[in-house]
Structure 1
Amino acid sequence: MRSELVGRDREIGALDGWLVSALGGRPRLVLCHGEPGAGKTRLAEELVARAAAREVPTLWGRAAEAEGAPPYWLWRQVLREATGVARPAGELGVAEELAPLVPELDGGRSDVLGDEARFRLFDAVVGVLRDIADARGLVVVLDDVHWADRPSLLLLRHLTRELRGSRLLVLATHHDLPPGDAPLLAELVREPVTERLPLTGLSRNAVAARLAAEIGEPVTAELVGRVHELTGGNPFFVGELARHLSAGRAAGIPPTVREAIERRMERLSPCCRSQLRAASIVGRQFSVAVVAATIGRPVLDCLDPLDEAVAAGLVEPTATAGDEYRFVHALVRDAVEAGLPTGERVRLHRAAVEAIERLYSERLDPHLSDLARHWAAAAMAGERARAAGWIERAGDEAMRRLAFEEGARLYRLALDTGDPELDGPARHRLLVALADARHRSADGAGSAEACLAAADVARQLGRPDLLGDAVLVLGCVNEQGADRRLRALCEEALAELDPQPSSRRARLLSLLAETHMYLEDVGPADLASREALAVAESCAEPAALVAALRARQMARSGPDGIEERATLTARLFAVGSDADNPSDRMWAHLWQIDTHVERGDLYDAAAVIDRLEWYAGRVGGPTGRWHVLKARAALAQAHGRFDDARVLADQAFAVAPASGHAGAVGARMALLTALDHHAGTDHGGTTAMVALDAAGGAVAAGSGYRITYTLGPAVILTDARKHDEAGALYRSLGPPRRWRPPPFFLLASYAAGIAVAVGQNADADVAVLRELLSPYRHRHVGSGAGAAHYGGPVALHLGIAAAHLGDLDAAVDDLRLALASCRENGAAGYAVEAQVELVGVLARRGRPDDLDEARALVTAGTAAARGLGMPAFAARLAAIGTSLGPVPPSPSLLTAREREVAACLSTGMSNPQIAAALFVSERTAQNHVQHILSKLGYSRRSQIAVWAVQNLDPRTPNDRRA
């Protein structure tokens, strides 16, 4: 029987208001916090009662305070109530995704690993809760979340961010915690839907009411004052002391709750006391069967003592299972366990191990966490290796259930428990597992530490194969010191490994190639990736082949490798299809986009993104979503949809995985630089400079990545005519011929370098950069797998360089090539830029037909620039147009047929195509073109096309536009 809730009128009123708000479609997460015993659970029960009065369903989950509780224990309880595990799994619709939380739905599945699976699991939980809430609303109580494992808190954070629009109220209770002690809880406080509900001590009046209710008679002011001073108004302490007083022990007040609980325990029968001591070892929530087996009694003999404990207010039955009970408060369990002598505590843990193994011998997996906890406490000399084995099994189960942080904790515990009885191979296996778990939980430093320790064990054993396994857990982190250590380990492992082809050797060579690339040693990377691919092909292991293909793609990521990369992409598609691996297919699509962009096939690249999004969705997690949004932003920027590009870039950066922060900053910076260059909304370079600062130490002083990170802001400063600031950044890079940008940034670096060097009037540098860029005249500027931004045709940048150096004929040819390319692939912003640059060069060259062409380009370019939102380019065109003088009147000498031919030319038709469209001979079509050139005074077909765009309505080519 629960006592009346006193002294909480304000808190109850707030909860009532939030419940009404949630039922109206404005969801809430309420974080109710206070010291242990503040009445958080009692307040939650009051909320549940008020929800029930409104016929709103409630779900309840309580975190287990003892280490070793099953992963997601908090959510397992919620999901068991929400889904009803007795129903057939097929009725749930998401049974497979929910299996890690509801093992009864598992069906024996054992291959659930990876971030993508955890993301699907989280989304499935959100879907179940939303479905319930949509009908009548829903209240979810999560009790004692300060004890929850990290995966459970990550799921809560995911749910909080997906609450919008649902009729859901989540009440999470937790202890007051020191600042920084629970960073995930601190993150939840910052979410827009979060409300905080602190519970402080009861007032003196409330303490008096509570004491009087428990004792059954009025109490003195002196007693109230003493109790309030001793307890600080803590409701649990007050209640415990009141019960103690009501038992007739009025002489003196115990100084601690532990003493109060011990006195209450003394009133129980010896059988009940021994049963509670065993239960305190099992956990706050315990199975009667486990406790009975632990103390060696029949279950039936344990029921009466449990009733006695319930009557004493120490335990209570749970709502989730008929044979399960729980201590009414964690402090009760703590006090009972703390009162056990060390010998008895160890004996009970050992007995609990035997009980669990006996009771659940047919299916131990759900109980491995409990076994691990008991073995850790019970292991004695001679049993440590065995205990470590059980704890390792619990770690494996945690990893299978996607609880990576719990897996890391258990592997560390297995190592500590097994010491010094573990043999070398077992220690190595645990260290590698620990490194993998830490890697999956984004603990890069911890993962590296465990790997290095595993490598030391492998050396001591003289086992190069084990050394290789340790190294393969690591990955490149784009930090020079760490990547150098990784490269040295790869080389050591390969030197000791059997030279015969093997999957291990292929993967080590692939990793070595990647470290060479991150350390900017392109030549060694090329050799290592070639060898890796050859070895992988000979051993026919799909995982090794994928690793080798990815290493080779990285080694050939420069513009000279585009044809080979296309072949590698096709091979990765084939491997991913055979293995039905969505991650491989996702990367194949990213490589395909990269190739299309570098070839200038923007429409083909855009078509790939929809397929990319499907596979990224199957992969799940933030990485896939980031790649999709990043690619969409780049294509929007390429096609001149600048506002869309900014929105997509913001969304991409928001979902970018923390482990890839430096890459996310670089991608965002590249896109913002391109947008600012055309749309001009950030003159002064604020955004790009902030992005450069955010990259921080991710870019080493001597790194080729620094070239790209420096040139981006320098381009923006150049556009803003802040040449002194731009020059300082530019000169910090040294002479361009010595630049060594990463291969996938080579074209972008040279193109940006030309823009800044022209602004600095650095003619020699412009000439060098033009020379370096010239071999790629027919390529387009991209930026790696999936594309982070589009930098336009290489011919555009070559034309700008040629114009600056006074080579006007070459500039005209390059700029015409760039303009034609942009018109063909829809790169609207770069088409405007090409027109601006071409108009300027034609005006400088000054031939009669140049000026006519320039006037036509001014008219077309100005309209396009204004429509796209490129004011600086529109202003430049207007200024040049004024210097060209008025546009001559359009000739009206063309016949109707000649106007039809001109209209065909405006769409880019050849003579044979014109002949087919107008049902004339090819010779007749050619004669019409010559007559038009003569009548209009032009020398090239492209001039007719420009004239037709400006003077003919494409629907009625015989009429002039109004």
Structure 2
Amino acid sequence: MHGCSWGERLRDDRYTLAPLEKRGRTLVRKARTVFVGRQHETEELLAGLEEVVGGHGRLFVIDGEPGIGKTRLAEELAVHAPEHGALVLWSRCWKASQAPAYWPWVQLVRACLRAAQGSEIISLAEPAISDIAQILPEACESLCEPGLRPNPAPSDPEQARFRLFDAICTIFRIASNARPLVLVLDDLGAADRASLLLLSFFVRELHHCRILVVVTYRDAEVRGSLALAEAIGDLAREGTHIRLRGLDDRQVGELIEAETGERPDAQALAAVCCATGGNPFFVQSIAKLVPVQDLACIARKWPETRRMRLANGLAAAVGAHLAPLSERAKKLLVVAAVAGREFQAEVLETATGLEREALYAALSQAEDYGLISEFPDSPGRYRFVHSLVADTLYEGLTSVERARLHIRIGEALEAIAGQGSNAPLAELARHFFEGARAGGYERALHYAEIAAGRATAMSAFEEAARFYQMALASIKMTAKVDEHRRCELMLMMGEAQNRCADYMGARDTFVQAAELAARLGSLEMLAHAALGYPGLQWDVSPDGNQQAIELLERALRAFPERDDPWRAMLMARLASELYHRPSAAGRREKLSRRAVEMARKIGDQRALLAILGHRDLTLSGPDTLQARLANAHEMMQVAEKIGSEIGRYMAFLSRAICYRHLGDVRKAEAEAEAMGMVARMTRLPVCNWGTQCFAACRGLMEGRYSEAEESARECLKFAQRMRGCEADDLFWPAMIDTMREQGRLAELEPMAARTVERCPAQPAFRALHALVNCGLGRKQLARADFELLAAHDFTDLPRDNTFLACAVALAQVCAALEDRTRAEQLIRLLSPYADLNAVFGPLASFGSMARYLGILAVTACRFDEAENWFRKALAFNGRMNARPYLASTLVDYAEMLIRKGSQRDFAKATEFLASAQEISEAVGMRALAYRIDEIARRTASASANAAVSEVPERKVVNGAAAGAEQAPRAPRARVLELVAGRGPRRAGISEPGSLSSDTSHAAVSDDAANHAIFRRDGDYWTISYEGKVFRLKHLKGLDCLAYLLSHPATEVHSSGLAAVMNKLPSGDGPAVLDSQGDGGSAADLGDAGPILDDKAKNSYRHRLMELREELEQAKRIGDLGRAERAEREIDFVTEELSRAVGLGGRDRRAASAVERARLSVTKAIKSVVAKISQYDRELGDHLSTTVRTGTFCSYKPDPRYPIVWKLD
């Protein structure tokens, strides 16, 4: 490998790729000639290959337990692929600690470029080849035109990573145009995180390429690796999953016969199948171990565990494979196992001191017995055919033996490769680190630090963090610890963790670095640690990011009062972290302004860009939009001057948000498009998240509910990985209007309640929670929150980036509560913001503020003023194409006109309702559609003598409803019929306690009510609704539904309904909660106690302390195997404790009786409503939107149009 340059090997005839059918077939047949079973799986792979030949890329993910035949199945595909004209390229993943970053991709790219040598593929791919110089510097130098230098890496690391990923995709895409490709990534569980990210990127580009990707991994590995689990999740969405299981009895017999030439009898076959579970590796091991006639006896003596996962079972299996070898060959394989799953004969020769002839004789013997195989295109380089053999040999060594062998192999690599740019740094760092107890700490530190720097240059930030961690572990064990160097390593590790989104790890790292920097008296390192600490600028809890504030305050106090870029950045960052602290508003503005002035004076452009970014947050209120725009323009200028793509992204994002606030859709979309281009270029997770949030918000605004909700949930998942449950704060406010329209508002209430409990002093969340409660008919709860916020006539509401959302919620709650006095106060408060769009966070946007001023004006009986606000809102929402908010404004306006009462107003209201109906039908606003129907009926009643047939067919102001031109005429016709007093009543789909419903009318008499039947007759129920009758066989849940129908507008506790459902005694009947009450005794039922009692928790905590000590000791002595085992057990114990203990150390309770009742009743009621919908869709719609489930359940039809249910 190191004897000649890679370029020389490419040009050497010995290394030119032979036709791959020869290489693939030789490799497979030499390794193992037996292939039994797997017919269905093979056919599926070959069918996928045919699709690839036809131009449609495919991905297959193969998993199963060790030895089950994953690699063997992929090899069988490689045998048949040349028959379809495909080129097979193979890579085997090493454990991250044994190979450099992107190792599986390095192997694939090398093989691809060798195969393409001398073809026009090289010239076509030349720009991409020059971009992969980060990982293959020799490629550009050897294959490109003389004098062409590698493209310089972008200054921004994230942009460099994207360019690398895109270049690799481009190379394979160009190669696949000439010939279909099969790329095999074997044993993915051993791959580094950077390679996994590249794979996720690559498979998304497959669809129109002639490339088949096959990935293998062990299913058990997913549980132990979050990175692998995320990657497999991405792959599962893009490809086909094949799970391999054990061979059946017939196939096991065929395999034994193929191995031994004899067919086992039924007794022996049954014993082998029982012992091995059909695992081919174990079957072959037994077959190699004993004659066929003795199989039954020996198999019964093997471990009884079905899959033979115990160490002695593996050892026995591997021992069977090793038994025929000479002692020299066995010992050589042990050294090879320490070297890695792939190894060089030259390294073994140097490490063992064996004569070359003796060495190759031993290797040939191991190869003849199928234990290792030589790479056809790389003489002298070998691999273990099965990783179980290497792993078992390695585990069989004592820690002292391992350490000595690691040092010998590390020294051999040094002697062969030297310490230049081509040195295998990852291998050198690993071997010297794991051999540390034998004297390798200094060299481990040296190589780990260099390897981390190289990984950073390759944009492999996950690998960089791992190597820095290795360096830190090594430096603590050196004879004289250099604390200054240790602090620098911590800072670099924290930066790497930030870049790979390991924010929790980065926090811990920077806190430790700050403590060390303070002890050392290093101001710059202290400032670096404080600035590096991950900020969560959207965290508005009482102690939001308190540790970041403390670190920044500490660093700022330490710096002398002088112009200094570090001091300026500390002030700017502190100002941004103080954003959600109203008491610090004056200091925040002063710090931010001084920081910008200082940075401009100093002339440090990079510092200025960072400071402008922090100032962007401090300016993100409704009163400072123009100043924020000016700040964003300056950010863009500085970012372009210094070539910062991230700076450009932040400037685009800031301008897009400002234009969205101002309702300038065209400019906002232009900025969002530019923002998306930068995000795709950088591939930085936070940038992609921000872009997706913006797209989801736009979808919600335009009424693309299903698509937008899916995007919003993806945003939520990413945010949860960064912030846990706090991410809910971003999601539920954005979904209030959507879920209210779909009758799903109850889904948001638990999230809203948690947020308010966590952030009790944040007005916006409390106001939005009150809005949710109003929508659910819980006006008493909403009033309590409303009065709390109105205590100082709303004057103490902070004018930050939550203010407009808070105002939107307060306006709607005020209207629902019909509080005229508060409405007057809110009008005065909100009038200056009438020309703005109400934006909240990255996801939520509530439309024109003028609409909410109109709602308040109606509440205050200022109808002429309300009409002006509604006109302004119609124009504003129409310009933004905010169809749901346009429709809602039309309906609000129509209701106001109806209350005014003139004939002219009735006609205008009818037109508005017709236009709103068209939009609501197109968008899927079920609640609004129902509300329109009811308003139209009231209009018919109020204007009985109106000449409805003469209502002009015209569009709404400024073409606001232009989208309705192509809509069907049915919705408009329906409204006109209803206004004329004709047309059937729509099934109820409104939210109980609808915020905009007019409840001042007189109650409808029972004579006017509809009559329906819901009666049990033995084993069947007779159900009649609006003239349609059907019978339904008894189901669990029908009794609960009948009880709710017999108690309309009454909240019934789920435990009482569970008693009804299960025919259990429940005292005086189900506990109820009327609309004014707070609950009955049923809510006080106990639970099953804490998940863990005190004794169990103490035991877990004691064990955790022991494991941490054990982990430290293992790292100190360099026993990585022991360290990994300790880390796995620490993860398990920590997970158990976190499952049992909540915030503040409070016990989490096991499922309570109330919770069990809630779940069973909810499931039963939803099931019967779904069944009813199969027979009567209208009744199903009515029940699904008027029956509420949860801890308290209720049936709440519209009180103006009651239904009298006959239940006897």
TM-score range, shorter chain: 0.7 to 0.9
1:500 has 2:541 as partner: no
The 3 A distance-change label for structure 1 pair 541 and 219 is same
Shift of 1:148: 2.2
1:682 has 2:682 as partner: no
Give the whole-Å Cα distance in 1 for the aligned partners of 2:775 and 2:627.
Answer: 36
1:91 has 2:125 as partner: yes
Counterpart in 1 of 2:988?
none
Counterpart in 1 of 2:678?
615
Shift of 1:144: 1.8
Counterpart in 2 of 1:236?
281
Contact 2:452 2:463 in 1 (8 A): yes
Counterpart in 2 of 1:431?
490
1:642 has 2:703 as partner: yes
The 3 A distance-change label for structure 1 pair 131 and 649 is farther
Alignment of 1:738-757 (within 5 A): 740=797, 743-757=800-814
1:548 has 2:573 as partner: no
CA offsets 1:106-162 (integer angstroms, 9 cap, x no match): 748566765555455455555555666677654333222222223333444455566
CA offsets 1:805-841 (integer angstroms, 9 cap, x no match): 2344544444444455556666565555555555555
The 3 A distance-change label for structure 1 pair 317 and 3 is closer
RMSD: 4.4
Counterpart in 2 of 1:350?
407
1:390 has 2:418 as partner: no
1:15 to 24, 42, 49: 42
Shift of 1:331: 3.0
Shift of 1:883: 4.1
Counterpart in 2 of 1:491?
553
Letter in 2 for 1:144: D
Counterpart in 2 of 1:576?
639
Residue range with higher mean Cα deviation, 381-390 or 367-376:
381-390
Contact 1:126 1:162 in 2 (8 A): yes
Contact 2:63 2:242 in 1 (8 A): yes
Give the whole-Å Cα distance in 2 for the aligned partners of 1:625 and 1:214.
Answer: 53
Counterpart in 2 of 1:943?
none
The 3 A distance-change label for structure 1 pair 202 and 67 is same
Alignment of 1:514-913 (within 5 A): 514-520=576-582, 521-635=584-698, 638=701, 641-643=702-704, 646-654=706-714, 657-658=718-719, 659=721, 665-666=728-729, 668-675=731-738, 681-683=741-743, 685-686=745-746, 688-689=748-749, 692=752, 696=754, 700-704=758-762, 707-712=763-768, 714-715=770-771, 718=774, 723-724=779-780, 726-727=782-783, 730=786, 735=791, 737=794, 740=797, 743-783=800-840, 788-819=843-874, 821=876, 830=885, 833-834=888-889, 836-838=891-893, 852=904, 854=905, 857-858=908-909, 860-869=911-920, 871=929, 872=931, 876=935, 879=938, 883=942, 886=946
Shift of 1:554: 1.0
Counterpart in 2 of 1:459?
518
The percent of aligned pairs where both chains have the same amino acid is: 27
Give the whole-Å Cα distance in 2 for the aligned partners of 1:228 and 1:275.
Answer: 33
Question: TM-score normalized by structure 1?
Answer: 0.80
Counterpart in 2 of 1:43?
73
CA offsets 1:412-444 (integer angstroms, 9 cap, x no match): 222222223231112112222332333333333
Contact 2:491 2:513 in 1 (8 A): yes
Counterpart in 1 of 2:110?
80
Give the whole-Å Cα distance in 2 for the aligned partners of 1:261 and 1:667.
Answer: 54
1:149 has 2:205 as partner: no
Give the whole-Å Cα distance in 2 for the aligned partners of 1:760 and 1:275.
Answer: 84
Counterpart in 1 of 2:216?
173
Residue range with higher mean Cα deviation, 398-407 or 649-658:
649-658
Shift of 1:668: 4.7
Instruction: Give 3-state SS (helix, strand or coil) of 2:801's partner.
Output: helix
Instruction: Give 3-state SS (helix, strand or coil) of 1:517's partner.
Output: coil
Counterpart in 2 of 1:412?
469
Letter in 2 for 1:76: V
Give the whole-Å Cα distance in 1 for the aligned partners of 2:437 and 2:273.
Answer: 46
The 3 A distance-change label for structure 1 pair 491 and 131 is same
Letter in 1 for 2:745: G
Shift of 1:321: 2.6
Counterpart in 1 of 2:973?
none
Contact 1:350 1:378 in 2 (8 A): yes
Contact 2:169 2:202 in 1 (8 A): yes
The 3 A distance-change label for structure 1 pair 628 and 108 is closer
Give the whole-Å Cα distance in 1 for the aligned partners of 2:851 and 2:273.
Answer: 80
Give the whole-Å Cα distance in 2 for the aligned partners of 1:269 and 1:77.
Answer: 32
Query: How many corresponding residue pairs?
Result: 881
Give the whole-Å Cα distance in 2 for the aligned partners of 1:39 and 1:664.
Answer: 42
Give the whole-Å Cα distance in 2 for the aligned partners of 1:90 and 1:510.
Answer: 48
Letter in 1 for 2:284: G
Residue range with higher mean Cα deviation, 458-467 or 395-404:
395-404
Alignment of 1:918-937 (within 5 A): none
Give the whole-Å Cα distance in 2 for the aligned partners of 1:234 and 1:389.
Answer: 44
Give the whole-Å Cα distance in 2 for the aligned partners of 1:336 and 1:266.
Answer: 13
Counterpart in 1 of 2:363?
306
Contact 1:142 1:173 in 2 (8 A): yes
Alignment of 1:114-133 (within 5 A): 114-115=157-158, 117-118=160-161, 121-122=164-165, 125=168
Give the whole-Å Cα distance in 2 for the aligned partners of 1:85 and 1:92.
Answer: 15
Letter in 2 for 1:490: L
Instruction: Give 3-state SS (helix, strand or coil) of 1:24's partner.
Output: helix
Give the whole-Å Cα distance in 2 for the aligned partners of 1:482 and 1:778.
Answer: 32
The 3 A distance-change label for structure 1 pair 130 and 335 is same
Contact 2:290 2:298 in 1 (8 A): no
Give the whole-Å Cα distance in 2 for the aligned partners of 1:874 and 1:827.
Answer: 22
Counterpart in 1 of 2:236?
191
1:71 to 78, 101, 120: 101
Give the whole-Å Cα distance in 1 for the aligned partners of 2:238 and 2:951.
Answer: 67
Letter in 2 for 1:507: M
Residue range with higher mean Cα deviation, 560-569 or 501-510:
501-510
Contact 1:517 1:555 in 2 (8 A): yes
Give the whole-Å Cα distance in 2 for the aligned partners of 1:519 and 1:480.
Answer: 8
Letter in 1 for 2:187: D
Structure 1 runs not aligned, ≥5 long: 893-902, 909-962
Shift of 1:490: 0.6
Shift of 1:468: 1.5
Shift of 1:653: 3.7
CA offsets 1:845-892 (integer angstroms, 9 cap, x no match): 67xxx865x356435523431332263357647745874664799999
The 3 A distance-change label for structure 1 pair 366 and 642 is farther
Give the whole-Å Cα distance in 1 for the aligned partners of 2:595 and 2:59.
Answer: 51
The 3 A distance-change label for structure 1 pair 496 and 89 is farther
Give the whole-Å Cα distance in 2 for the aligned partners of 1:711 and 1:345.
Answer: 63
Instruction: Give 3-state SS (helix, strand or coil) of 2:806's partner.
Output: helix
Counterpart in 2 of 1:290?
347
Letter in 2 for 1:768: Q
Counterpart in 2 of 1:361?
418
Letter in 1 for 2:128: V
The 3 A distance-change label for structure 1 pair 818 and 878 is farther
Counterpart in 2 of 1:446?
505
Contact 1:636 1:642 in 2 (8 A): yes
Give the whole-Å Cα distance in 2 for the aligned partners of 1:258 and 1:814.
Answer: 81
CA offsets 1:40-92 (integer angstroms, 9 cap, x no match): 32232122213333333322221114733222323322333234487558625
Counterpart in 1 of 2:374?
317
Give the whole-Å Cα distance in 2 for the aligned partners of 1:91 and 1:303.
Answer: 39
Contact 2:511 2:533 in 1 (8 A): no
Letter in 2 for 1:642: G
Shift of 1:502: 2.5
Counterpart in 1 of 2:1094?
none
